[in-house]
């Protein structure tokens, strides 16, 4: 598929030529073909976009929430009208299988945009505390830096709450998935957002991303990506004393207590890790099983993973670098003494950035494959002795983003979940809730996205005393 791409930046309500001549090739990871080129933005493009966002801020901040709500509803509708094109584009540049692309990559952002259309209209931007009136005011210009793994969701999870709050935005999307970001800009334009309220600069992280994070006209930097880059972005923002939100990596635990329905918990756990080829920051990549059920769980996992055929239900990884990184982790797991019960480091197909769906047994908590984020279709199954041991293992990484607990009844699972150091826990297979706050404990990040908590990130408070 050859994709039509804009050869400019979306700044101040129009597509404009980039300041420089550099381009970024967009590659289909399923067949390694170049499908499009987009401009590689420079600090000059970022500056133009930030100026446009600054200029648009006072009027947008003063726009009544009801009007902002109507424009967000129009944005939701414009995204919904493009669902097919969005799904095809995500398949082309990320490699997501069509069904997943449609249901999750295209469908979820429509729901999130809709949730902020409602919240903009219903949120209380003023509250009374004793003799004070507290005004909740937009922070200002937001610099949003997003990753490629859920290209549109990550954009909408930042831009929609920022706009609902009355902030204006400059977006720097991931270099692997800029086409979805251009589609989003088209939807924002069609929705009728005033010029400068939303701006897009495509480009490389260390160039355009860094220029955006360090720009003095940006009041809040919202970053989603790796912990390594997040640390740098946080340091830059901290030095300038500006607000920062960081959504980073994870190594989430799927804790299966002895009273749980083992087959169900293992099946759901494998599906969770394999979805999006393991490129989900909150994926339950560590399965914790009681020693008495361990062998049975490993067998169930090996059987369940066989359904994920590369090139069919299992897509490729996003690029060659990620594929090599994931294969390197599989080799490391073998070298550290973990037992490979499915998959392995060799290529399953002769083209595309595919990796075999892989399950490791006899993984101990100190191994790299139990501690570090792999970001691929690799599951580590760990054995625990008793509940205290399970808790120590579950909490024993630098991360704390997602997680799951399975038990005979919800109360038992909840009692365990309360003791986990993590931002989200799914109880006995609880469904993803696009209104629930999402974000990390420990090195998984700072701040929350989605729902009213996500909106609050973009608001300042001002107290008036009477
Ligand atoms: P990445 O950190 O390399 O890139 C993320 C974004 O930052 C991209 O837009 C990139 O261009 C930009 N960037 C890179 N270097 C930069 C710099 N020096 N200054 C400013 N911006 C820079 O991460 P990735 O490879 O795109 O994504 C994978 C990682 O993201 C994984 O670790 C994953 O866990 C994490 N992630 C976290 C969440 C979450 O919500 N917590 C969601 C998705 C992905």
Hey, which residues are catalytic here? 247, 281
The residue to mutate among 43, 205, 448, having the most atoms of ligand 1 within 8 angstroms of its beta carbon, is 205
Q: By alpha-carbon position, which residue is closest to atom 34 of ligand 1?
A: 249
pLDDT at 87: 98
Q: Is the pLDDT of residue 2 over 80?
A: no
Q: pLDDT > 70: what percent of the chain?
A: 100
Ligand 1 centroid to Cα of residue 225, in Å, is 2
Percent of the chain with pLDDT over 90: 99
Dump strand ranges (E) for 146-284.
Answer: 168-172, 198-200, 220-224, 243-247, 253-256
What mean pLDDT comes out for the span 107-126?
98
Q: Distance from the CA of 272 to the center of ligand 1, in angstroms?
A: 21
As a whole number, the mean pLDDT across the chain is 97
Mean pLDDT, residues 173-200 taken together: 98
Average pLDDT over residues 56-84: 98
Averaged pLDDT for residues 419-445? 97
Instruction: List, for residues 244-262, the tens digit of each pLDDT value.
Output: 999 999 999 999 999 999 9
Question: 225 in ligand 1 pocket by Cβ < 6 Å?
Answer: yes
Task: Give the pLDDT confidence of 204-240 residue by residue, as tens digits.
Answer: 999 999 999 999 999 999 999 999 999 999 999 999 9
Could you tell me where the DSSP H helices lie in 96-226? 98-100, 107-122, 151-165, 178-191, 210-214
Contact 448, 435 (CB under 8 A): no
With a cut of 90, say whether residue 355 has pLDDT above it: yes
CB atoms within 10 A of CB 134: 15
The band of 47, judged by pLDDT with boundaries at 50, 70 and 90, is very high
Whether 174 lines ligand 1, by a CB cut-off of 6 Å, is: yes
Which residue's alpha carbon is at the smallest distance from atom 39 of ligand 1?
A: 247
Q: Flag whether pLDDT at 307 surpasses 70.
A: yes
233 lines ligand 1 (CB under 6 A): yes
In this structure, which residue's CA is closest to atom 23 in ligand 1?
A: 225
Mean pLDDT, range 152-156, rounded to an integer: 98
pLDDT for position 176: 98
Number of alpha carbons in the 13 Å side-chain half-sphere of residue 179: 25
pLDDT level of residue 397 (50, 70, 90 thresholds): very high
Rounded mean pLDDT, 2-21:
92
CB distance 226 to ligand 1 below 6 Å: yes
The pLDDT, as a whole number, for residue 1 is 58
Q: What pTM was computed for the model?
A: 0.97
For residues 5 and 116, give the distance between their C-alpha atoms in angstroms, rounded to a whole number: 28
Q: Structure tokens of 381?
A: 């199954």
CA 431–ligand 1 middle distance (angstroms):
25
Cα of 252 from ligand 1 centre, angstroms = 18
Q: For residue 175, give the ligand 1 atom closest to its CA.
A: 11
Residue 286 has pLDDT above 70, yes or no: yes
pLDDT at 4: 77
What mean pLDDT is predicted for residues 96-113?
98
Judge contact between 124 and 165, C-beta under 8 A.
Answer: no
Mean pLDDT, residues 444-456:
98
Task: Kindly state if the Cβ of 214 falls inside 6 Å of ligand 1.
Answer: no
Q: Is the CB of 11 under 6 A from ligand 1?
A: no
Q: Is residue 401 in contact with ligand 1, taking CB distance under 6 Å?
A: yes
Q: Are 382 and 364 in contact (CB under 8 A)?
A: yes
């Amino acid at each position: 598929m050859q994709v039509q791409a804009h050869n400019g930046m979306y700044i101040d309500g129009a597509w404009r030529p980039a300041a420089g001549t550099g381009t970024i090739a967009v590659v289909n990871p399923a067949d390694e073909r170049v499908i499009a080129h987009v401009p590689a933005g420079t600090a000059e493009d970022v500056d133009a976009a930030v100026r446009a966002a600054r200029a648009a801020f006072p009027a947008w901040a003063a726009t009544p929430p009801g009007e902002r709500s109507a424009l967000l509803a129009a944005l939701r509708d414009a995204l919904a009208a493009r669902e097919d094109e969005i799904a095809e584009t995500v398949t082309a540049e990320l490699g997501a299988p069509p069904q997943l692309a449609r249901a999750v990559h295209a469908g979820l952002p429509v729901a999130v945009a809709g949730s902020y259309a409602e919240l903009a209209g219903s949120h209380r931007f003023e509250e009374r505390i004793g003799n004070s009136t507290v005004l909740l005011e937009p922070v200002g210009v937001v610099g949003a830096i997003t990753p490629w793994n859920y290209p549109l969701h990550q954009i909408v999870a930042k831009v929609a709450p920022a706009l609902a709050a009355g902030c204006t935005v400059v977006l720097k999307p991931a270099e692997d998935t800029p086409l979805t970001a251009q589609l989003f800009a088209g939807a924002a334009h069609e929705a009728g957002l005033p010029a400068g309220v939303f701006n897009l600069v495509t480009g490389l992280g260390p160039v355009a991303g860094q220029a955006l994070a360090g720009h003095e006209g940006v009041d809040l930097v919202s970053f989603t990506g790796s912990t390594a880059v997040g640390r740098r972005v946080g340091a830059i923002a901290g030095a300038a004393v500006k607000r920062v939100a960081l959504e980073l990596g994870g190594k989430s635990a799927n804790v299966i207590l002895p009273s749980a329905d083992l087959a169900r918990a293992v099946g759901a756990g494998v599906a969770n890790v394999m979805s999006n080829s393991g490129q989900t920051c909150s994926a339950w990549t560590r399965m914790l099983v009681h020693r008495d059920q361990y062998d049975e769980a490993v067998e169930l996992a090996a059987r369940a993973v066989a359904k994920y055929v590369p090139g069919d239900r299992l897509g490729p990884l996003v690029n060659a670098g990620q594929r090599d990184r994931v294969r390197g982790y599989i080799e490391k797991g073998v070298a550290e003494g973990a037992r490979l019960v499915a998959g392995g480091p060799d290529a399953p197909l002769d083209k595309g950035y595919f990796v075999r769906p892989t399950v490791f047994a006899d993984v101990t908590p100190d191994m790299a494959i139990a501690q570090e984020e792999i970001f691929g279709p690799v599951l580590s199954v760990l054995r625990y002795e008793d509940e205290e041991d399970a808790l120590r293992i579950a909490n024993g990484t630098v991360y704390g983003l997602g997680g799951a607990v399975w038990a005979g009844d919800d109360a038992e699972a909840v009692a365990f979940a309360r003791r986990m150091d993590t931002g989200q826990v799914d109880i006995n297979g609880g469904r993803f809730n696009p209104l629930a706050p999402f974000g990390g404990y420990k090195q998984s990040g700072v701040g929350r996205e989605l729902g009213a908590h996500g909106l609050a990130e973009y608001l300042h408070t001002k107290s008036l005393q009477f």
